[in-house]
Amino acid sequence: MNTHDIDYKIYGDDMQFVEVELDPHETVVAEAGGFMMMEDDIQMETIFGDGSSSGGSGLMGKLFSAGKRMLTGESLFMTAFTNQGLGKKRVSFAAPYPGKIIPMDLSELGGKIICQKDAFLAAAKGVSIGIEFQRKIGAGFFGGEGFIMQKLEGDGLTFVHAGGTILKKDLLPGQTLRVDTGCLVAMTSSVHYDIEFVKGIKTALFGGEGLFFATLRGPGSVWIQSLPFSRLASRVFAAAPQRGGAKDEGSIARGLFEMFDGD
């Protein structure tokens, strides 16, 4: 095994966090902003890229690994948490919004999964966090997540976060599933992914579900989320009081909104 063999426990229901247990000299890497808490003797270090050897050794390899992350809109840097003590130590990472944390053992998933670029939370050191170019232009421009998706490769544990309730579906060879583009969380590399235009001009223009959906064809496994963050954010924005709008004298939320807005 090339990846550190970590243990974990997930706490909570809708606002989850994952507690990772590290043996001496084991390391877990995480995106900036996911850290929650850690015990003594765990050293936190900012590193270029993901800390794996997938890009090669030396400075150029590290720069190449970090540069790939920039294409997905992520930072050049990640944070590594290493147990420098003698016994087992624990570090925890929290979900950024309501949903579920999905543990994935890459050794049981063909060594690679493809996911939304903002779904990754943390992984054992040795897992490669790179980019996946969609083969078809249509899938890239209209796929809801852009031309580039994230790929996680290796033989260790990784943790992915998604919104709402999560459903895993195992597709048989040739079996097809159509999914809202924002609801697709992750899929194994054997799944064929494409974008399909909604048929019927009335459905496309007035259906309220967008003009495109993702077409997934097996064999392989896919993970679907019931509440994409973009959908949650749009509802919150629509419900927020707008400057210059009608006055709602009884709204506590409006008063708080204006107080923090500087009015």
Kindly state whether residue 207 falls inside one of the protein's structural domains. Answer: yes
At 52-68, the pLDDT tens digits run: 665 555 556 556 655 55
Measured between its terminal Cα atoms, the distance across the chain in Å is 58
At 205-243, the pLDDT tens digits run: 544 445 677 889 999 999 999 988 777 777 777 777 766
- What distance in Å separates the CA atoms of residue 72 and residue 145, rounded to the nearest whole number? 10
**26 touches 4 (CB < 8 A):** yes
> What is the CATH number for 202?
3.60.160.10
Q: How many domains does the chain divide into?
A: 1
Kindly state whether residue 30 falls inside one of the protein's structural domains. Answer: yes
Kindly state whether residue 40 falls inside one of the protein's structural domains. Answer: yes
User: What is the reported pLDDT for 244?
Assistant: 55
Residue among 17, 153, 29, 18 nearest 82 (CA) = 29
Kindly state whether residue 114 falls inside one of the protein's structural domains. Answer: yes
Kindly state whether residue 179 falls inside one of the protein's structural domains. Answer: yes
Side chain identity, residue 114: I
- What distance in Å separates the CA atoms of residue 191 and residue 168, rounded to the nearest whole number? 13
Peptide bond connecting 219 to the previous residue in cis, omega within 30 degrees of 0: yes
Kindly state whether residue 194 falls inside one of the protein's structural domains. Answer: yes
pTM: 0.77
Kindly state whether residue 263 falls inside one of the protein's structural domains. Answer: no
User: What is the reported pLDDT for 61?
Assistant: 58
Q: Which domain holds residue 92?
A: 7-235
At 242-252, the pLDDT tens digits run: 665 544 444 55
Helix (H) / strand (E) containing 159: strand 157-163
pLDDT in tens, the chain (263 residues): 567 888 999 999 888 999 999 999 999 999 888 899 999 999 999 887 666 665 555 556 556 655 555 655 566 778 999 999 999 999 999 988 889 999 999 999 999 999 987 889 999 999 988 887 665 545 555 544 445 688 999 999 999 999 989 999 999 999 999 998 888 999 999 999 887 776 654 544 544 445 677 889 999 999 999 988 777 777 777 777 766 554 444 455 555 455 555 55
Kindly state whether residue 225 falls inside one of the protein's structural domains. Answer: yes
**42 touches 6 (CB < 8 A):** no
